[in-house]
Chains A and B, each alone.
Chain A
Amino acid sequence: MANVVAAYCLLRRSSRKLFDGRQNLNFFGSIRFVNSGLTYNFTRTRELSRQDVCYSDQIVSKHICFLRASGNGVLTSFPRGEGSGFQIHCRYLASMASTPVRNKSFSTVNSDDIIYFKKILGEKGVVEEEEKLDDANTDWLRKYKGSSKLMLQPRSTQEVSQILHYCNSRCLAVVPQGGNTGLVGGSIPVFDEVIINLRSMNNILSFDKVSGILVCEAGCILENLISFLDNEGFIMPLDLGAKGSCQIGGNVSTNAGGLRLIRYGSLHGSVLGLEAVLANGTVLDMLGTLRKDNTGYDLKHLFIGSEGSLGIVTKVSILTPPKLSSVNLAFLACKDYTSCQKLLSAAKTKLGEILSAFEFLDINAMDLVLKHLDGLRDPLPSSKHNFYILIETTGSTESHDKEKLEAFLLQSIESGLLTDGVLAQDINQASAFWRIREGIPEALMKAGAVYKYDLSLPPEKMYDLVEEMRGCLGATNG
């Protein structure tokens, strides 16, 4: 808790310095508390140059594309919060204090460039129409909008390499784009960078049924991969609400966590190899499919989570777990955050190997979802609860899993960790419960302007953040 307060004060001071006293509470997003104790704050940078000001602004308000970098070497990354289902609904609708300034050393796209791109990609691969660019320029939350005049859709790694080589030689800024489902404005241009969208690279290259290793291009939509694997008896190790539109290349580049992180771990563990194209067009083939490979340095880990700042991921080789038949889902209610934490520890011990997802949301999130999304009803309508938890188990034997889960839940009720709960009896009920959890970003968007940050915090501090913010913003926004 002290950490939070200290960093907050630091930020207030630094924010004033950077933005002329306009109080910006959004800076909370720039602090990263991880168990390793790493804290990154702006006061550490020396004399704050004009560039730094723009930088910090961009860092806080969105993830920048490093290809536009001025070589400063300031790399910040914001790992996704694990399993947190809450978002902070900010009352302040004003945008960031000072607007970033376009770096003059980057060129602008001219007609020669368009001719060249059309030669490489064909007519279909070069998009200049306003409407299509509109979508590509705007992020999913409709909060930020770039002003790119050109979108390229390469169909192969070779084409990506040629584009990047050319852009590098012409000093054209680019932004890699996948499904454009990111919630922090990282997938859209800040100014007029050329958008390189990988949606045309959506082939599944190979799948080994014995090892479960899938090799595919970066533009494959996650849901399509899940359906393909479903036929083969496997599943993707990650699952998120955006699966209908997000692309695997984007997932890997942002080190997406998702709902099944607790069971299958992060992408650092599941991705066995990838192929990426660097800013100057060099193709780095790290597409190994071996479960264990200690030859040389494991560079792929740098790309996972680097958000396109080191290169564009064009192919991914990923280890997929087998699909297990018995899935159970429980929607539960707790009275306070401490119970939620205790329930998590209990779930890990008692459910052990069958636990596959553990999500929590608070009453505000629940209310927003029920209010703004159609076709959803409160699974626990009998009374208002402060916290809701979703527990999913996946295993191979229905009877064993159900028995284990029921025993655990009954015990938790008796010990007072849970106040109420329901168990999904068929797949439709389970989908309805998931829709509540996965629909939170959508509901937030419908509710109003959202300031969204991906924060990693130690589990015991997680909800303190919410309470602290509520205190700062006042209880009116709900």
Chain B
Amino acid sequence: MRTTTSAASRETASMRIMVAIKRVIDYAVKIRVKPDKSGVETSNVKMSMNPFCEIALEEALRIKESGRASEVVAVSVGPAQCVDTLRTGLAMGADRAIHVEFPGTLYPLSIAKILKALVDAEKPGLLLLGKQAIDDDCNQTGQMIAGLLKWPQGTFASKVVLDEENKVATVDREVDGGLETLCLDLPAVITTDLRLNQPRYASLPNIMKAKSKVIKKLTPQDLNIEIRSDLEVVQVTDPPKRKAGVILSSVDELIDKLKNEARVL
């Protein structure tokens, strides 16, 4: 079947955008630590797409809708239920999805290696990720994969402008001192920050279409990657509860407390 595309987009991109998304505990859920302190309670808890990954996917879709890309591929690494998150991605508008199934714990370096294998196979012109996942807050995957691929990276993006002619992406980054603007040669890795865009809702017509979209299943072995964790979680505990404030009756008492209890004087 011939797909009709406008003249403009036919000229420009056959650029493919790959977006890596992660299935995490829903942002609004109250987290509970497991009694044995080995981790956080995840059974029977609502899971959703990592908010930053949502933003990354939204940006990819907007780039495609503006005619600068031809295809958006969503990828995810994790247990079988990741398919749900990928379906959400497809319902938002991604064209197809790849699921690398692995039931165990995954750390950023392993993800980066898997993504590198996928990038080598799919050859996207742009790799978008969320800046960090809200469950581990690592903020490492984007940077690591840029290193492995030897691609330029624009992290904490709050604005992305693509120039297809010169194959350059201009990225505004949110840094401690304010905003920094970088020019990256494509292909590049961009990780998204909160203010980049507001993700769209999954509409019913798109959810219908998503049912017929393909989710390719792979395993790390298919990509010749051995998952090895160099890290071991020893213990997970709640942060200490805030102690109630104390109302003091005199300055002397304050000085005494600062000296002897808080030990800051």
How many residues does chain B have at the interface if contact means C-beta atoms less than 8 Å apart? 22
Q: For B26, give its contact among A330, A377, A427 (CB under 8 Å).
A: A427
Which residue of A has the minimal Cβ distance to B27?
Answer: A428
- Complex CA distance for A406 and B205, rounded to whole angstroms: 11
> Do A421 and B204 contact each other (CB < 8 Å), given the known contacts A325-B44, A377-B198, A427-B48?
yes
B246 in the interface, Cβ–Cβ < 8 Å? no
B49 close to A425 (CB less than 8 A): yes
A425 close to B88 (CB less than 8 A): yes
CB under 8 Å from chain A, chain B span 1-52: 26-30, 44-46, 48-49, 51
- Complex CA distance for A380 and B208, rounded to whole angstroms: 16
B204 close to A423 (CB less than 8 A): yes
Interface centre among B48, B91, B198, B204 (most CB of A within 10 A): B204
Contacts of B202 in A (CB 8 A): 422-423, 425
> Do A423 and B46 contact each other (CB < 8 Å), given the known contacts A230-B30, A379-B201?
no
Q: For B203, give its contact among A398, A421, A427 (CB under 8 Å).
A: A421
A429 close to B46 (CB less than 8 A): no
**What 0/1 readout, one digit per residue, does chain A (409-446) give for beta carbons within 8 Å of chain B?**
11001000010111111111101000000000000000
- Complex CA distance for A350 and B168, rounded to whole angstroms: 52
**What 0/1 readout, one digit per residue, does chain B (79-99) give for beta carbons within 8 Å of chain A?**
000000000100110000000
> Do A422 and B204 contact each other (CB < 8 Å), given the known contacts A427-B27, A428-B27?
yes
B146 in the interface, Cβ–Cβ < 8 Å? no
> Do A422 and B203 contact each other (CB < 8 Å), given the known contacts A230-B30, A427-B46?
yes
B207 in the interface, Cβ–Cβ < 8 Å? yes
Contacts of B26 in A (CB 8 A): 426-428
A422 close to B44 (CB less than 8 A): no
Contacts of B208 in A (CB 8 A): 410, 413
> Do A429 and B203 contact each other (CB < 8 Å), given the known contacts A230-B30, A410-B208?
no
Measured between C-beta atoms, what is the minimum distance from A381 to chain B in Å? Answer: 9
Which residue of A has the minimal Cβ distance to B198?
Answer: A377
Contacts of B207 in A (CB 8 A): 406, 410, 423
Measured between C-beta atoms, what is the minimum distance from B202 to chain A in Å? Answer: 5
Interface centre among A410, A424, A425 (most CB of B within 10 A): A425
Measured between C-beta atoms, what is the minimum distance from B79 to chain A in Å? Answer: 14
A413 close to B204 (CB less than 8 A): yes
Contacts of B30 in A (CB 8 A): 230
Contacts of A327 in B (CB 8 A): 46
The total of Cβ contacts below 8 Å across the A-B interface reads 63
**What 0/1 readout, one digit per residue, does chain A (305-335) give for beta carbons within 8 Å of chain B?**
0000000000000000000011100111000
- Complex CA distance for A406 and B30, rounded to whole angstroms: 27
Which residue of B has the minimal Cβ distance to A430?
Answer: B28
A420 close to B198 (CB less than 8 A): no
Which residue of A has the minimal Cβ distance to B201?
Answer: A422
Q: For B48, give its contact among A420, A421, A422, A426 (CB under 8 Å).
A: A426
How many residues does chain A have at the interface if contact means C-beta atoms less than 8 Å apart? 27
Contacts of A326 in B (CB 8 A): 46
A410 close to B88 (CB less than 8 A): no
> Do A424 and B201 contact each other (CB < 8 Å), given the known contacts A325-B44, A325-B46, A406-B207?
yes
B204 close to A418 (CB less than 8 A): yes
Interface centre among B26, B29, B91, B203 (most CB of A within 10 A): B203
CB under 8 Å from chain A, chain B span 164-219: 198, 201-205, 207-208
> Do A429 and B201 contact each other (CB < 8 Å), given the known contacts A325-B46, A406-B207, A410-B208?
yes
Measured between C-beta atoms, what is the minimum distance from A428 to chain B in Å? Answer: 6
- Complex CA distance for A267 and B51, rounded to whole angstroms: 38
Measured between C-beta atoms, what is the minimum distance from A438 to chain B in Å? Answer: 16
Which residue of B has the minimal Cβ distance to A326?
Answer: B46
B27 close to A426 (CB less than 8 A): yes
Contacts of B44 in A (CB 8 A): 325
- Complex CA distance for A423 and B203, rounded to whole angstroms: 6
Contacts of B29 in A (CB 8 A): 427
Measured between C-beta atoms, what is the minimum distance from A382 to chain B in Å? Answer: 8
- Complex CA distance for A465 and B192, rounded to whole angstroms: 49
- Complex CA distance for A420 and B26, rounded to whole angstroms: 26
CB under 8 Å from chain B, chain A span 330-365: 330-332
Contacts of A330 in B (CB 8 A): 204
Measured between C-beta atoms, what is the minimum distance from A449 to chain B in Å? Answer: 34
Contacts of A409 in B (CB 8 A): 204
- Complex CA distance for A180 and B198, rounded to whole angstroms: 36
Contacts of A398 in B (CB 8 A): 46
- Complex CA distance for A428 and B52, rounded to whole angstroms: 13
B48 close to A410 (CB less than 8 A): no
Interface centre among A230, A406, A423 (most CB of B within 10 A): A423
Measured between C-beta atoms, what is the minimum distance from A235 to chain B in Å? Answer: 14
- Complex CA distance for A275 and B50, rounded to whole angstroms: 47
Which residue of A has the minimal Cβ distance to B28?
Answer: A427
Measured between C-beta atoms, what is the minimum distance from B200 to chain A in Å? Answer: 9
Which residue of A has the minimal Cβ distance to B29?
Answer: A427
B201 close to A420 (CB less than 8 A): no
- Complex CA distance for A153 and B208, rounded to whole angstroms: 56
- Complex CA distance for A420 and B202, rounded to whole angstroms: 11
Contacts of A325 in B (CB 8 A): 44-46
Contacts of B88 in A (CB 8 A): 425
- Complex CA distance for A409 and B205, rounded to whole angstroms: 10
- Complex CA distance for A426 and B29, rounded to whole angstroms: 10
Which residue of B has the minimal Cβ distance to A426?
Answer: B48
Given A377-B198, A426-B26, A428-B28; 11 other pairs, CB 8 A cutoff: A380-B203, A398-B46, A410-B207, A413-B205, A418-B204, A420-B203, A421-B204, A423-B201, A423-B202, A425-B88, A428-B51
- 22 A-B pairs with C-beta separation under 8 A: A325-B44, A326-B46, A327-B46, A331-B201, A379-B201, A410-B207, A410-B208, A413-B205, A420-B204, A422-B203, A423-B91, A423-B202, A425-B49, A425-B202, A426-B26, A426-B28, A426-B49, A427-B28, A427-B29, A428-B26, A428-B51, A429-B201
Residues on A close to B: CB < 8 A?
A: 230, 325-327, 330-332, 377, 379-380, 398, 406, 409-410, 413, 418, 420-429, 431
CB-based closest 5 A-B pairs: A426-B48, A427-B28, A422-B201, A421-B204, A425-B88
